[in-house]
Amino acid sequence: MDINKLLHNMTIEEKAGQLMQLAPFFFIRDLEIEVAGNVSDIGITQKKIFQSGSVLGIRNAKEMIDVQKRYLSQSRLQIPLIFMADIIHGYETIFPVPIAISSSWNPELAYQMARVSALEASSAGIHVTFSPMADLSRDPRWGRVVEGFGEDAYLSSSFVKQMVLGYQNDGIEKPGNVASCVKHFAAYGAVEAGRDYNTVDVSRLFLHQYHLTGYKAAIDAGAKMIMTAFNTVDGIPSTVNSYLLKDVLRDQWKFEGVTISDYDSLHQIVDHGCAENDKEAALLGIEAGLDIEMASSCYVNYLKELINENKVDVKRVDKAVLRILELKKELGLFENPFKGADILLEEQLVHSKEHLAIAKKAADECSVLLKNDHVLPLKEGVRVALIGPHAQSRSTNGSWSWHGKSELNSTLEESLIKQDIIPVITLSVERDDQISKEDKEILKTCDVAIIAIGEDAYESGEARSKTDLSIPRKQSSLVQLVKSLGLKSVVLLYSGRPLMLDSVLQTDALMYVWFLGSQANESISETLSGKINPSGKLTMSFPRNVGQIPIYYNYYTTGRPKEEHVQNEYVSYYLDVPNSPLFPFGYGLSYSSFDYHDLHISSDEITPEEKLSISIEVTNKSNVAGYETVQLYIRDYVSKIVRPIKELKGFKKVWFDGNTSQVIKFNLQLEDLMIIDAFGNEFFEYGKFSVMVGPNSENVISKDFRLIKESKQ
């Protein structure tokens, strides 16, 4: 297909149509769904609908085939639609939510999740997924922390990269692969006060050092598309922000793929107060380099007028259209407009045994054990009570799992029984006062209560911001009740974000189980029984209270740092709580017990050309085999741009047999010591650094070295 020739034959209306994305029901009115918003009528004619370029949110192969057929039957130039959808952590086989996957500290699992998602989604005729979300999250009030990979740019980028590689695999032209659209460019995770869609005001320094890192990692991994964010950056809506879309994306990063707005966000710049009307919005969008507008009609209704009035150069429109045609060509849609869609294959693939097994293995590495006073794994023969709203719930898929069928998931009770853990009593209650006297008597005959509490699956996600992050609906009263009845307790916390855990800390064991997807309760039960040894570690700091937010491990010392155990009023601290989080970034226990010792570095001085080799011995002092994630941090002590007290620069998740030791090795080189300035430029400075290695960001062993100009020999 010669796309330049095709472009040449297109009318302005047809060009503008390519730049519009609509939901499937625009083409077949009796399809009722609209998954991601509330724009049902955007003021366009039937003719314009049938000139649009892509579709958002198809449900299955049959629907895709119907829509494509219908569309092509009316399309003059026979340019097929691209089908895009939000496949975030699985299509029908649902994997752990992204914040949970990141807690595995095993990016390979993200790769497998993306592979399975691509195989299933492409069989339904989906060509592009709006994933991964590379927004950095430091504020658990923001409901979308569930969709991201935590607070750290380095760790998050490792996951983002594997997601893109997993989706696109050996090329988007091949069957079974989908193109990746990274989102939400830029800094959407920094919405003020954690309120979704709110203003973002980040310095250019933090923008480049932290927030942009993830999108860049996706683009370096080959992501074909990028979605803009709902928020402003520097007072300009991201969707029309030419610093982001031109200077950074095209000029600095050399991105050649397609840009797309978020849902209705081009039109919404009128609500931002940045354009007076849709026509002005269209002008700003096309000038900034926005290619597709999702679910609004500014381009399709006004580009022609703007071109005729000489306000928009048609060449700009051509560039955008060419990028879209190029993507269609690369996907192979001109040869086969129904690419991927296969009703039979879809039936075989989705939710298949093989895919569920992969999702189960992923879930096994994501639960984070936060406390364990010798209760877990459950000893054989203990009398167990099962309490809480999640005891008999199948709702373990979490946000953005719209193809997932939670009715097919097992409940915790069913999964425990499969592990021969048969509850003496099961009470699906939220609070202590919902338990009768008689049931309390039965509870007293038990040894341990498993208390399955937390958020419900849709309490985190888009438009799910909260100011009160305490355990919802007085569920912590169950922990107090169990204690007063004299039983041991194990709290399982189902959630899509860090919650305030102070009210349940008196429990004997506490495991954060997020929303682990189709196989959640199988995985949790096997972990309780000891068949699986938990190995997840936190990727967001868990605050002591909401007032500490934003809280993250890589903070600056400030000019007046608070030193531990030193009383001095005029330092950076709180009167009421310590500065430290309740549970730090990187924290998570296991049934094994690991000891870190003998940290060695190859030299106490290196030049920019040299590498520093680091080794540490880690010993599993227990006879329980398990994984440990060894974390490497650095500190750069002196720089004209202040550096954080710690920066993650490496991690290794390693399997240890019982009572064994291994020497874990890392290398540091100049690129790990680089600093990014407010313009996105990288540089380094000579001087003193520390290497720190440990099981989490607080508990580390360190050694110093210097970066010097020339070696002494």
User: CB of residue 188 vs ligand NOJ: minimum separation in angstroms?
Assistant: 8
Instruction: CB nearer to ligand NOJ: give 84 or 155.
Output: 84
User: CB of residue 262 vs ligand NOJ: minimum separation in angstroms?
Assistant: 5
Specify which residues 201 forms β-bridges with. Answer: none
User: CB of residue 129 vs ligand NOJ: minimum separation in angstroms?
Assistant: 9
Q: Rule CB under 6 A: say whether 200 interacts with ligand NOJ.
A: no
User: CB of residue 33 vs ligand NOJ: minimum separation in angstroms?
Assistant: 11
Nearest to 460 by CA among 188, 91, 229, 147: 147
Instruction: CB nearer to ligand NOJ: give 142 or 263.
Output: 263
Q: Rule CB under 6 A: say whether 83 interacts with ligand NOJ.
A: no
Of positions 130, 159, 656, 666, contacts ligand NOJ by CB under 6 A: 130
Instruction: CB nearer to ligand NOJ: give 23 or 387.
Output: 23
Give Cα separations from 301 to 24, 86, 259 (angstroms).
Answer: 20, 26, 19
User: Cα–Cα distance between 204 and 633 in angstroms, integer?
Assistant: 24
Question: Three-state DSSP class for 619?
Answer: strand
User: Cα–Cα distance between 145 and 160 in angstroms, integer?
Assistant: 14
Q: How many CB atoms lie within 10 A of CB 679?
A: 11
Instruction: CB nearer to ligand NOJ: give 166 or 423.
Output: 166
Q: Which residue is nearest to ligand NOJ (CB)?
A: 36
Of positions 105, 215, 255, 263, contacts ligand NOJ by CB under 6 A: 263
259, 226 contact by CB (below 8 A) = yes
709, 609 contact by CB (below 8 A) = no
User: Cα–Cα distance between 280 and 261 in angstroms, integer?
Assistant: 16
Here's the x/- map for ligand NOJ, 405-444, by CB under 6 A: it reads as: ----------------------------------------
User: Cα–Cα distance between 18 and 14 in angstroms, integer?
Assistant: 7
Q: Rule CB under 6 A: say whether 36 interacts with ligand NOJ.
A: yes
Instruction: CB nearer to ligand NOJ: give 84 or 366.
Output: 84
Question: Is 196 a residue of the active site?
Answer: no
Instruction: CB nearer to ligand NOJ: give 115 or 183.
Output: 183
Give Cα separations from 518 to 207, 359, 395, 485, 501 (angstroms).
Answer: 36, 7, 9, 34, 26
Instruction: CB nearer to ligand NOJ: give 86 or 139.
Output: 86
Which stretches within 340-474 are classed as H helix? 343-349, 353-363, 412-418, 437-444
Categorise residue 222: left if φ over 0, alpha if ψ from -120 to 50, beta otherwise.
Answer: left
Instruction: CB nearer to ligand NOJ: give 86 or 459.
Output: 86
Catalytic: which of 135, 139, 152, 262? Answer: 262
Instruction: CB nearer to ligand NOJ: give 35 or 205.
Output: 35
Cis peptide before 561 (omega within 30 of 0): no
Which pair of tokens denotes residue 593? 């017990």
- 320 φ, ψ to 5°? -65, -45
User: CB of residue 462 vs ligand NOJ: minimum separation in angstroms?
Assistant: 5
Q: How many CB atoms lie within 10 A of CB 142?
A: 29
Question: Three-state DSSP class for 49?
Answer: helix
Instruction: CB nearer to ligand NOJ: give 58 or 500.
Output: 58
Of positions 89, 115, 161, 183, contacts ligand NOJ by CB under 6 A: 183
Instruction: CB nearer to ligand NOJ: give 36 or 110.
Output: 36
User: CB of residue 155 vs ligand NOJ: minimum separation in angstroms?
Assistant: 21
What is the size of the binding site for ligand NOJ (CB under 6 A)?
Answer: 8
User: Cα–Cα distance between 293 and 262 in angstroms, integer?
Assistant: 8
Cis peptide before 132 (omega within 30 of 0): yes
User: CB of residue 93 vs ligand NOJ: minimum separation in angstroms?
Assistant: 20
User: CB of residue 64 vs ligand NOJ: minimum separation in angstroms?
Assistant: 16
Q: Could you tell me whether strands 54-56 and 82-85 are parallel, antiparallel, or unpaired per DSSP bridges?
A: parallel
Sheet of 293-294: strand order equals 258-260, 225-228, 179-185, 128-129, 82-85, 54-56, 20-22, 293-294
Which stretches within 46-106 are classed as H helix? 46-49, 61-72, 98-103
Q: CA Rg, the chain, in Å?
A: 26
512, 494 contact by CB (below 8 A) = no
Of positions 135, 262, 508, 522, contacts ligand NOJ by CB under 6 A: 262
Of positions 135, 291, 459, 462, contacts ligand NOJ by CB under 6 A: 462
Q: Could you tell me whether strands 488-494 and 448-454 are parallel, antiparallel, or unpaired per DSSP bridges?
A: parallel
User: Cα–Cα distance between 528 and 115 in angstroms, integer?
Assistant: 29
Of positions 86, 92, 120, 432, contacts ligand NOJ by CB under 6 A: 86
H/E/C letters for each residue in 298-363?
HHHHHHHHHHHCCCCCHHHHHHHHHHHHHHHHHHCCCCCCCCCCCHHHHHHHCCCHHHHHHHHHHH
Residues marked as catalytic: 262
* Contact set with ligand NOJ (CB under 6 A): 36, 56, 86, 130, 183, 262-263, 462
